[in-house]
Amino acid sequence: MTDFRPSRFEVLPLIIKNLLIINGLVWLAQITFHSSYGDWINDTFALHSFQSSLFKPHQLITYMFMHDDRGFAHLFTNMFALWMFGSTLENYWGPKKFITFYLLCGIGAALAHLGVLYYENAGLLNELDAFKKNPELTNFIILYNKYGLQNYDPVPQFVRQWNNNSSSYNPGQAITFFKEYTDIRFSGTTVGASGSVFGILAAFGYTFPNSLIYLYFFFPMKAKWFVIMYAAIELFSGIQNSAGDNVAHFAHLGGAVVGLILVYIWNKTDRRNFY
């Protein structure tokens, strides 16, 4: 399917318009109450690891309506992509099918991200247990470099001190540092509509593969190649897992995979709308 000629095309269809409004209002609430209620908002509504005491089932949905409250870029890029690609799909499918697709992609992205976190955190806990049994300085340095503890104050200061004078190394203090780091990892949050947006992008590329997308508004590329390229970048970034990279790459891929599965099934059954 490469041609799209709906009987009535809306530039801003119903669900897209309401999603833009809801995400915008939630972001305004986040930045307005950041100083007084920011921690409570994130603890309650942002997505947390299964292994965190802060995890609640409703976060599988609420997280996708929140965005980074430290700047406008995260919200803008997601909402622009939602409007750019989602409007065509909503016009093609209808509002009921589109909102179902949007939510399922977001939930699928969350589950994929939580699965990866569970795997990573299980390895982290195993390394913490092993380090407790053998807390030598060389082992701590390995963990320090592997997990980017140089970004966690006050660890760098003590590492420099221990490197200069290994006799001053305190195993108990090192265990405490690494335990505190694992607690921070478990309390980390994930927010954003990116998982749903990646599902929309994948569905657009599948449904309208030969539609042209203009990179940086100048360079034309067919939608199918754009989706494949973007997915490859996300997969590489997720596997790379560089220190300091707080982007949930596997959540993006999870949303895209769920989107492809849904659009494939719906295309096979040839049902555009739910009644």
Q: Clarify whether residues 193 and 244 are in a common domain.
A: yes
Last residue of a domain, one of 186, 209, 235: 186
Distance CA 119, CA 122 (A): 5
Q: Report the pLDDT value the prediction gives residue 185, as an integer from 0 to 100.
A: 79
Q: Clarify whether residues 248 and 197 are in a common domain.
A: yes
Start-to-end Cα distance in the chain: 23
Residue 14 lies in a domain: no
* Residue-range definition of the domain harbouring residue 152: 121-186
Q: Report the pLDDT value the prediction gives residue 180, as an integer from 0 to 100.
A: 85
CATH number at residue 98: 1.20.1540.10
Q: Clarify whether residues 215 and 205 are in a common domain.
A: yes
Distance CA 117, CA 114 (A): 5
Q: Report the pLDDT value the prediction gives residue 15, as an integer from 0 to 100.
A: 97
Q: Report the pLDDT value the prediction gives residue 124, as an integer from 0 to 100.
A: 86
Q: Report the pLDDT value the prediction gives residue 248, as an integer from 0 to 100.
A: 63
Q: Report the pLDDT value the prediction gives residue 275, as an integer from 0 to 100.
A: 38
Q: Clarify whether residues 194 and 170 are in a common domain.
A: no
Helix (H), strand (E) at residue 240: helix 223-240
Q: Clarify whether residues 114 and 128 are in a common domain.
A: no
Distance CA 66, CA 52 (A): 19
Q: Report the pLDDT value the prediction gives residue 161, as an integer from 0 to 100.
A: 81
The model's pTM is 0.79
Structural domains of the chain, count: 2
Last residue of a domain, one of 171, 186, 201: 186
Q: Clarify whether residues 128 and 113 are in a common domain.
A: no
Query: Across the 275 residues of the chain, what is the mean pLDDT of every consecutive 10-residue run?
Result: 54 94 96 89 93 93 93 89 91 95 96 89 88 89 81 76 81 88 84 92 86 66 73 57 52 88 85 46
Q: Report the pLDDT value the prediction gives residue 244, as an integer from 0 to 100.
A: 42
Q: Report the pLDDT value the prediction gives residue 54, as an integer from 0 to 100.
A: 92
